[in-house]
Amino acid sequence: MAVQREWLEKDYYQVLDVPSTASEKDVTSAYRKLAKKLHPDANPNDRTAEERFKDVSAAYDVLGDPAKRKEYDEARRLGVGAGRGFGGGGSGGFSAPGGMRFDYTDLSDLLGGAFGRRKPAGGPKKGADLEAELHLSFAEAVSGLETSVNLTSDVACGMCSGSGSAPGTSPVICGTCGSRGVIDDNQGLFGFSRPCPSCKGTGMRIETPCPTCAGSGVARKPRRIKVRIPAGVQDGQRVVFKQRGDAGRDGGPPGDLFVRVHVAPDGRFGRSGDDLTVTVPVSFADAALGATVSAPTMEGTVTLRVPPGTPTGRTFRVKGKGVKGGDLLVTVEVAVPRTLTDEQRHLVEQLRKALEA
Ligand SMILES: [Zn+2]
Ligand SMILES: [Zn+2]
């Protein structure tokens, strides 16, 4: 698995608000708490919550997987501080007197955006985010699974490997900007630079465009993307796969893939967060006298003790038999027989008399 750029830039531990020594269980419970709080269903039209929800999902995608977490820790141990400056060359900036150089983003922070200059349009572009739909059975949503989604997206052109130059040729250094990707405009106190119009900020020029992609470096292709859906996803939840979206342009990173999960209802079980719910019929006699009844779980059955005098609709909690360590909530429903034999009718009539007396 390739080390991802986000890994160096984002502190996933901070995102989940856990120490880097947190146990797997703590990571999961921190994620659950935040996911519940920030879930789009609970925060309609709240962009901040939506962004944080994405971050939290992305963080858990890595920290919730022991193998990925190990790689992430290792990448950060080796690479923290090296994360800035990725993609270089393309973005504009300005030089202040004394030769200090700022990125536009920093500049607008510094000057409150007074200059009205935004990030230049040229330079490396992040690929588009993609959305895919995935239909899961109830059991698959409970246990999680590895599967794949099919979609059509931009990928690096196979003919030129994404370079945009015809096979056998290479991009040449841009003559206008001399590979810097920016050209300077001197306007009084500050020297501004803007993206080079000849090379659109990439610093290189394609002299012989690839015939397949006409120099764009990307091709539209149906793709089958492997995805690991974590256990316990909810109907309607979006799972984020960082950098699995469209290919970036001009050296930019790929976009993200969002998989919206649809969970089919189950004939027996319901879900309430990480708890499973199920209804079990008991006879009037069992409810009145008490009995041991069995209830289905996702893996088999459990038995539970129904005490004497249990009213219909009472719910019993069976620890740990739900989703990802949640509980199974068993609701008993006193069943009334649709038909009675003569003997049963006689006994019930006697019982009625006895109860009325
Ligand atoms: Zn091409
Ligand atoms: Zn140029």
Mean pLDDT for 97-119 is 38
155 C-alpha to ligand 1 centroid (Å): 10
Q: How confident is the model at residue 122 (pLDDT cuts 50, 70, 90)?
A: low
The pTM (predicted TM-score) of the whole model is 0.49
**In this structure, which amino acid lies at residue 85?**
G
- For residue 157, the ligand closest to its alpha carbon is 1
Domain hosting residue 292, numbered range: 270-356
- 330 DSSP β-pair partners: 278, 316
* 12 and 78 assigned to the same domain: yes
Residues 1 and 110 reside in one and the same domain? no
The number of the ligand nearest the C-alpha atom of 167 reads 1
Residues 106, 144 within the same domain: no
Number of domains forming the structure of the chain: 4
CA of residue 156 to ligand 1 center, whole Å: 8
Question: What is the Å distance from ligand 2's center to 88 Cα?
Answer: 14
Which of 34, 68, 84 terminates a domain? The answer is 84
Tell me, yes or no, whether 100 and 216 share the same domain: no
Residue 284 sits in a domain whose CATH number is 2.60.260.20
- Ligand 1 centre from 123 Cα, in Å? 18
Helix (H, G, I), strand (E, B) or coil at 103: strand
Distance from Cα 86 to the centre of ligand 1, integer Å: 24
Q: Tell me: do 216 and 130 sit in the same domain.
A: yes
Beta strand residue intervals within 129-189, DSSP E? 130-136, 145-156, 172-173, 182-187
Q: In the predicted model, is pLDDT for residue 295 greater than 80?
A: yes
Question: Do residues 344 and 290 share a domain?
Answer: yes
15 and 130 assigned to the same domain: no
Cβ-Cβ contacts under 8 Å for 85 (sequence gap 6 or more): none
Same domain for 189 and 112: yes
Q: Do 248 and 335 have their domain in common? A: no
- Name 112's Cβ contacts closer than 8 Å, sequence gap at least 6: none
Is the domain of 180 the same as that of 242?
no
How confident is the model at residue 293, as a pLDDT? Answer: 96
Place of tokens 């050209």: 183
Q: How far is the CA of 76 from the centre of ligand 2 (A)?
A: 34
d(CA 32, ligand 1 centre) in Å: 44
Distance from the alpha carbon of residue 154 to the mean position of ligand 1, in angstroms: 12
Task: Give the other-Cβ count within 10 Å of 262's Cβ.
Answer: 13
pLDDT of residue 346: 97
Higher-pLDDT residue of 225, 306: 306
For position 234, what pLDDT does the model report? 93
Query: Which residues share a beta bridge with 241?
Result: 257
Identify whether residues 215 and 243 lie together within a single domain: yes
Boundary (domain end) residue, out of 264, 282, 312 = 264
Judge if 61 and 181 occupy the same domain: no
| Look-up of token digits 């985010």 | 129
Q: What is the pLDDT of residues 231-288, one digit of tens each?
A: 999 999 999 999 988 888 777 888 999 999 999 999 999 999 999 999 999 999 999 9
